[in-house]
Amino acid sequence: MTMTRKKALIVWGGWDGHQPREVAAIFAELLRGEQFDVTVSDTLDCYKDAELMADLDLIVPVWTMGTIEREQLQPLLDMVHAGCGIAGCHGGMGDSFRNEVEYQHMVGGQWVAHPGNDGVRYDVNMAAADDPLTSGIGDFEVCSEQYYMHVDPAIKVHATTDFDGVKMPVVWTKRWGQGKVYYNSLGHQADIVNMPQMRELMRRGFLWAARSRA
């Protein structure tokens, strides 16, 4: 029996400091390695392409800050609510479109601060040894931005960091209607996204979030 390949859309842009083009390339490589058909776009107008959107199993946003028009945003929200997965990291998903509270509701959180900026050394701690999204990866150290997030209490937390005595979520999942949402606050630039632990976390997150064709 021939298996239908899943389809993913990566949308990159916004603030250049997060190296969205380079991060999008890493994510495209990961997804193609998992036999996804991948479309990469550098315009938010792709969300208005009804034919493209209708066939997707996974959307991967890599777009920090910026603005999005209602006719671009609404199809994204609707597609995820109807069952298409969404997965991303750092500001490319957790600090997009700061005025769009419905987008933030879908994601499950929003970046608000990173005291010390880039170069902070901190540990990322897995929440449970038997969690299939994190098992075998183990705790690890990062030298990067440490994100302080405002988060939805409905999220399921898979990894955390100690933020001045606060157990701050780093990796979480949630549902938006029928769609699965995966977020990872790591990934300031491509070198962090390329860390073995981060690549594996994102690979598992992509596979978990993608719409099931079973």
> What's the predicted TM-score (pTM) here?
0.97
Strand 166-176 vs strand 179-184: parallel, antiparallel, or unpaired?
antiparallel
Is the pLDDT reported for residue 164 higher than 60?
yes
Residue 87's Cα: distance from chain center in Å? Answer: 4
Task: Give me the residues paired with residue 7 across strands.
Answer: 37
Region 159-164: mean pLDDT is 97
Residue 2 within a domain: no
Residue 63 within a domain: yes
Residue 78 within a domain: yes
41-88 pLDDT tens trace: 999 999 999 999 999 999 999 999 999 999 999 999 999 999 999 999
The count of domains in the chain is 1
The C-alpha atoms of residue 117 and residue 103 are separated, in whole angstroms, by 25
Residue type, 210: A
In this structure, what are the phi and psi dihedrals at residue 125, rounded to the nearest 5 degrees? -115, 125
Question: Quick one: pLDDT at residue 16?
Answer: 97
Residue type, 52: L
Query: Residue 74 belongs to a domain with what CATH number?
Result: 3.40.50.880
Is the pLDDT reported for residue 170 higher than 90?
yes
Question: Quick one: pLDDT at residue 214?
Answer: 60
In this structure, what are the phi and psi dihedrals at residue 161, rounded to the nearest 5 degrees? -140, 150
Q: What is the extent of the structural domain holding 185?
A: 7-110+149-159+166-209
Residue 214 within a domain: no
- Please state, rounded to an integer, the average pLDDT across all residues of the chain: 96
Q: Quick check: 41 and 9 in contact, CB under 8 A?
A: yes
Model confidence band, residue 4 (pLDDT cutoffs 50, 70, 90): confident
The C-alpha atoms of residue 45 and residue 42 are separated, in whole angstroms, by 9
Residue 123 within a domain: no
Residue 121 within a domain: no
Is the pLDDT reported for residue 167 higher than 80?
yes
Residue 58 within a domain: yes
Q: Quick check: 169 and 151 in contact, CB under 8 A?
A: yes
Is the pLDDT reported for residue 141 higher than 70?
yes
The C-alpha atoms of residue 112 and residue 19 are separated, in whole angstroms, by 20
Q: At a CB cut-off of 8 Å and minimum separation 6, what does 137 contact?
A: 126, 197, 200, 201
Residue 120 within a domain: no
Region 7-19: mean pLDDT is 98
